[in-house]
Homo-oligomer: A and B are copies of this chain.
Amino acid sequence: MAELRFDVLGIGNAIVDVLARADDDLLVRERLAKGSMRLIDAAEAERIYGALGPAVESSGGSAGNTVAGVASLGGRGAFIGKVADDQLGAIYRHDMRALGVTFDTPPLADAGVPTARSMILVTPDGERTMNTYLGAAQALGPEDIDEGVVAASAITFLEGYLWDPPRAKDAFRRAATLAHAAGRRVALTLSDSFCVDRYRAEFLDLIRSRTVDILLANVGELRSLYETAHLPTALAALQADAPLAAVTSGEDGSYVVTPGRIDHVAVDPVETVVDATGAGDLYAAGFLLGLARGIPLTDAARLGSLAAAEVISHMGARPATPLKQLAAEAGFEMGKW
């Protein structure tokens, strides 16, 4: 068995967030569904950017945020994702490596295709609505999956958004195959209820075929997956399909689902949600790091909620405070390597 070098390897779209505050009026005018992520092309990206207020740029991407969270918690992370050889790509790489994350995917050599960016409109209620131009992230393919890194990672974490770019699906399958061949586990986040709508049958197949061992979702995505508004029904269906899942439910905390039982793990309320961007990604960071280190599942869920609470208390999808310190203050002991 390969040496264990990473708690979590994240594979996902390498995206720079362009964060701007926006009124609900702008969402109405642009016909955007609040809380969703939609894909746009270069021309649409330019048009929306023109309508957007002053913004702040920050490295993002779902799996990228999760790995950043793992590193901030004191875990060891690796990332695979495609940036372009441009300024935003250099920023993305820097922000990963500055956290100690191993990120060696070569940038796309095509000068005409820039690094992916997501224009994130943060409304006064703290909700975020994302408009993503995938750019270079579309070029991620199976050749980018580093076998050595996958084999050295306790958990390989894949985002459902990878089902969007055409070749990433092959990268996803290759990563899952390599991880299992090395005796490691594979986790998937459903990403977004619209994403689930696009790929429902395929996602169900990934779970039922055990291509994925651990599922992460929020209640909206889970309801979409099983096409039911009734949460207990969806949770029961999930329990029948998946060996292990964590389902977040906003201020209601989360559910840890195993074949034997469903545990509800409550959370302390967060005073003000400034920006919900990254909440699910950071929950995944805590939960997966907890799993990788072998702490009880409900504690892993609490660690996830702790990381999520930090990220929704400020603008941006990555921790503004070292999470390791917050976790230690809350009594978490991550154990030694």
Contacts and interface: CB of A to CB of B under 8 A. Distances in A.
Interface of A: 20-21, 49-50, 52-59, 68, 86-88, 91, 94-95, 98-99, 114, 315-316, 318, 320
A295 B50 CA distance: 34
Contacts of A21: 320
B318 A98 contact: no
Q: How many copies does the complex hold?
A: 2
A134 to B, nearest CB: 16
Nearest to A20: B98
Contacts of A59: 54
B95 A54 contact: yes
A101 to B, nearest CB: 10
Contact of A54 (B20, B52, B88, B99): B99
24 contacts: A21-B320, A49-B94, A52-B94, A54-B59, A54-B68, A54-B94, A54-B95, A54-B99, A54-B318, A55-B91, A55-B94, A55-B95, A55-B98, A56-B56, A56-B58, A56-B316, A57-B57, A57-B58, A57-B91, A86-B87, A87-B87, A87-B88, A87-B114, A315-B320
Nearest to A72: B54
A221 to B, nearest CB: 28
Contact of A98 (B53, B94, B114, B315): B53
